[in-house]
Amino acid sequence: MKNKLVTTAIDYVNGAPHLGHALEKIYADVYARHLRKKHAVYFLTGTDENSLKNVRAAEKAGVSTEEFVLKNSLKFQELKTALNLSYNDFIRTTEERHVKGVQKLWKLAKKDIYKKNYKGLYCVSCEEYYKEDDLKCPIHKTELEEIEEENYFFKLSKYQDKILDLIEKDEVQIIPQARKNEILNFIKSGLQDFCISRTSERAKGWGIDVPNDPNQKIWVWFDALANYMTALSKEDFDKFWINGDVIHIIGKDIVRFHAVYFIGILLALNFKLPKKIVTHGFITVDGEKMSKTISNVIDPFDLVLRYGRDPLRYFLLSEFKTTADGDFSYEKFEKKYHADLSSGLGNLVSRILTMIEKKDLKGSTIVVDFSFKEEIKKYVLKYEKHLNDFEFNESINIIWEMQRFLDKYIEEKKPWEVTDRKELVLIFSKLVYALRKIALMLDVFLPETSEKILSFLGEDESKIDVIKKEMLFPRLNEYG
RNA sequence: GCCAGAGUAGCUCAGGGGUUAGAGCACUCGUUUCAUAAGCGAGCCGCCGUGAGUUCGAAUCUCACCUCUGGCACCA
């Protein structure tokens, strides 16, 4: 039994959360729920608020930056209820625990931090640096200016060989393999030191001060990545970081910062390294990237209102291979809802419960033979294997295999024709036993549905019972 | 341009040197009534990206080519 720290990326708060944010939180939630069955788990998420973008967005909105980031952070926090997330901590990078923590870490890493001139192409309107290939600002189409300023840098180059070795040997495991290869190539191409501060002026005074240098603000990565540590109290750091496994769940766009920069920083601090970095894909909508310009951004709150929490979780978890991109469409969503949730699971639950009532089997003692239990166990083992490997969609498929197995079993036994009570009890013992298992397997994916099924069957696992009945997933077309 | 990965049924994908290539969804037919126009059974649909090679035998290995996706540093 080992302790586990499960983290998500912390989100930028310059807008409301979209479906992509929901996806990542749900993945992390499933994994955390799975781990909780055997481990002590600290599940952490949060918002990244020290960005210059926020200052500008707040100016535009005519509110103070503090007010602006708080308002948006709260929107992200609303995802907890909307998606039924089980995280036990939410950190905002403007919180004191984070500010103090980052400064403390900065001091601890001091030996690998130095000052040097940073030269880059800068767009005055964006107030941002751009790559050397684009000579013009991609947004304003204006000439970029070459600007030079003095900043702090982190000696990443010093750790190149060490990081390469760690990743090659999977001491820090990057999932999936393809991402690991990308990172290895990136490291082999040579690591440069990276900039970890901006002048306070350029940062418009927003952000965390560099210790003993109020003219500089700590910039992006040294700030944001540190949240995984600054969120933890001393006791929890001990319990979950030092004596536990750290698992980061992040988008494919920020693998490098976790697998290279962060590992470098941790090496400088001489801290324990994360065990796994799991990267998920992105969501397209009807085959296109989500973007405001073509206004196809999907609002997760909307989907929850329309279809419910579990159906939304279900779609994202079953339709997408965890580490690959996936496509969202209302048509696919509803198709899956009907095929798997209504006709599949919902219908099975419904037919079992109704027959128990009609055949008056409530209160009978459950008797299940060993070979049937073994049969069920095979499904459970496969299900667990896929969960451990972050193959959530595969894991769900195993549950549906089991559901089809039960439907076939019912067909074969034709319990509606059976009159012998003893035989009926035997049949429904198995069905109730298996249905409970299905509910328990579902609880990481569809916690609400899982609870409902268990509550229908009653608390006493040794008796056949129906406490109440309710349609789990009504067909959608009946409501327009 | 360079480096990865992928191209298999209408859709999403699994498989992977050897009997007639798989699953789910969709579709067609049959069947059942316990159940949410649900269930079960059967069927349909594939030159397994293209060309060549290795082999007794390739979708599976090798090479070339085509197409797509991703990565190629300061971007959560």
Express each pLDDT in A328-340 by its tens digit. Answer: 889 889 999 999 9
The single residue of A4, A25, A123, A386 carrying the catalytic annotation is A123
DSSP one-letter string for A67-97:
HHHHHHHHHHHTHHHHHT---SEEEETTSHH
> Is A140 among the catalytic positions?
yes
* CB-based contact A154:A109 (threshold 8 Å): yes
Query: pLDDT band at residue A57, thresholds of 50, 70 and 90?
Result: confident
The single residue of A131, A140, A378, A469 carrying the catalytic annotation is A140
Q: Does A30 have pLDDT greater than 60?
A: yes
CA–CA gap between residue A245 and residue A89 (Å, rounded) = 17
- Determine how many CB atoms are found less than 10 A away from the CB of residue A329: 14
The single residue of A53, A126, A158, A413 carrying the catalytic annotation is A126
Mean pLDDT of all residues in A57-84:
93
CA–CA gap between residue A67 and residue A57 (Å, rounded) = 11
C-beta within 7 A of nucleic chain B, residues 404-423 of A: 404, 407-408, 410-411, 414-416
Structure tokens given for A366: 């459950």
Mean pLDDT of all residues in A188-210:
89
Express each pLDDT in A307-322 by its tens digit. Answer: 999 999 999 999 888 8
Residue A314 Cβ < 7 Å to strand B = no
**In DSSP terms, which residues pair with A327 in a beta bridge?**
A284
Query: pLDDT band at residue A479, thresholds of 50, 70 and 90?
Result: very low
Name, of A52-61, A112-121, A279-288, A298-307, the range with top average pLDDT: A298-307
Q: In this predicted structure, what is the pLDDT of residue A325? A: 83
Contacts of A408 (CB under 8 A, 6+ apart): none
Q: Does A26 have pLDDT greater than 50?
A: yes
> Is A385 among the catalytic positions?
no
Point out the least confidently predicted range of A126-135, A334-343, A372-381. A126-135
> Is A413 among the catalytic positions?
no
| pTM for this entry | 0.94
Query: pLDDT band at residue A139, thresholds of 50, 70 and 90?
Result: low
CA–CA gap between residue A257 and residue A194 (Å, rounded) = 11
C1’ B34 / CA A62, Å = 63
Express each pLDDT in A143-153 by its tens digit. Answer: 666 777 889 99
* CB-based contact A263:A160 (threshold 8 Å): no
The DSSP call for residue A156 is G
